[in-house]
Structure 1
Amino acid sequence: MYCVENRDWEILRVLYKERNITKTAETLYMTQPAMTKRLQHIEREFGVAIVHRGKRGVHFTPQGEYLAKCADDFLKLFSKVYDNLANMQDKTQGTLRIGASYFITRNKLPEILALFKQKYPDVDFHVTTGWSRDIFNLLYAQEIHVAFVRGEYNWQDQKHLLMEENICVVCANKFEIKDLPRLQRIDYKMDYKLKELISNWWWDNFSEPPAICMEVDKSDTCREIVTRGLGYAILPSRVVDNVQDIYKINISRKDGTPIKRKTWMFYQGDFLELKIVKAFVEFIKNMNF
Structure 2
Amino acid sequence: MKIEDYELLLKLNEVGTIRGTAKTILISQPAVTQRLKYIEDYFGEEIFIRTPKRLIPTPSGEIILNYAKKIIDVEKSLFNHLAMNQDEIQGTLSIACSSLISQRFLPVILGEYTEKFPKVTIDLVTGISEDIRRDHKNYHVCIIRGEKLKETKCIHLFADPLYIFDTEPFPNDRVKERPLISFNSDDSMHELVDQWLYHHQDHIKPLKMLTVDQIETCKQFMKQGIGMAVLPKSVSGSMMDEYPHLPLEVNGVPVTRDTWICFQEVARRLPQVDKFIDIMLAKTFLT
Q: How does 1:49-198 map to 2 (within 5 A)?
A: 49-138=46-135, 140-142=136-138, 144-176=139-171, 179-180=175-176, 182-198=177-193
Relative distance call for 1:175 and 1:24 in structure 2 (3 A) is same
* Whole-angstrom distance in 1 between the partners of 2:170 and 2:199: 19
SS in 1 for 2:258: strand
Task: Indicate the residue corresponding to 1:35 in structure 2.
Answer: 32
Calculate the TM-score normalised by the size of structure 1.
0.86
Q: CA deviation at 1:275?
A: 0.9
Decide whether the 8 Å contact of 1:98 with 1:145 is kept in 2: yes
Cα RMSD of the aligned pairs, angstroms, is: 2.6
Unaligned runs of 5+ in 2: none
Task: Indicate the residue corresponding to 1:12 in structure 2.
Answer: 9
Relative distance call for 1:117 and 1:60 in structure 2 (3 A) is closer
Decide whether the 8 Å contact of 1:19 with 1:58 is kept in 2: yes
Decide whether the 8 Å contact of 2:133 with 2:149 is kept in 1: no
* Whole-angstrom distance in 2 between the partners of 1:227 and 1:99: 31
Aligned AA (2:193): I
How many pairs align? 282
How many percent identity over aligned positions? 29
* Whole-angstrom distance in 2 between the partners of 1:57 and 1:220: 29
Decide whether the 8 Å contact of 1:152 with 1:262 is kept in 2: yes
Aligned AA (2:75): F
Query: CA offsets per residue over residues 95-144 of structure 1, 9 Å max, x none?
Result: 32222222212211111112223333333322222222223334x232x2
Task: Indicate the residue corresponding to 1:275 in structure 2.
Answer: 271
* Whole-angstrom distance in 1 between the partners of 2:231 and 2:56: 42
Calculate the TM-score normalised by the size of structure 2.
0.86
Decide whether the 8 Å contact of 2:109 with 2:279 is kept in 1: no
Decide whether the 8 Å contact of 2:15 with 2:21 is kept in 1: yes
Decide whether the 8 Å contact of 1:223 with 1:239 is kept in 2: no
* Whole-angstrom distance in 2 between the partners of 1:9 and 1:209: 53
Between 209-218 and 269-278, report the one with greater CA deviation: 209-218
Task: Indicate the residue corresponding to 1:235 in structure 2.
Answer: 231
Aligned AA (1:68): L
Aligned AA (1:189): N
Relative distance call for 1:245 and 1:21 in structure 2 (3 A) is closer
1:247 equivalent among 244, 258, 265: 244
Aligned AA (1:281): I
Query: CA offsets per residue over residues 138-157 of structure 1, 9 Å max, x none?
Result: 4x232x22122121144221
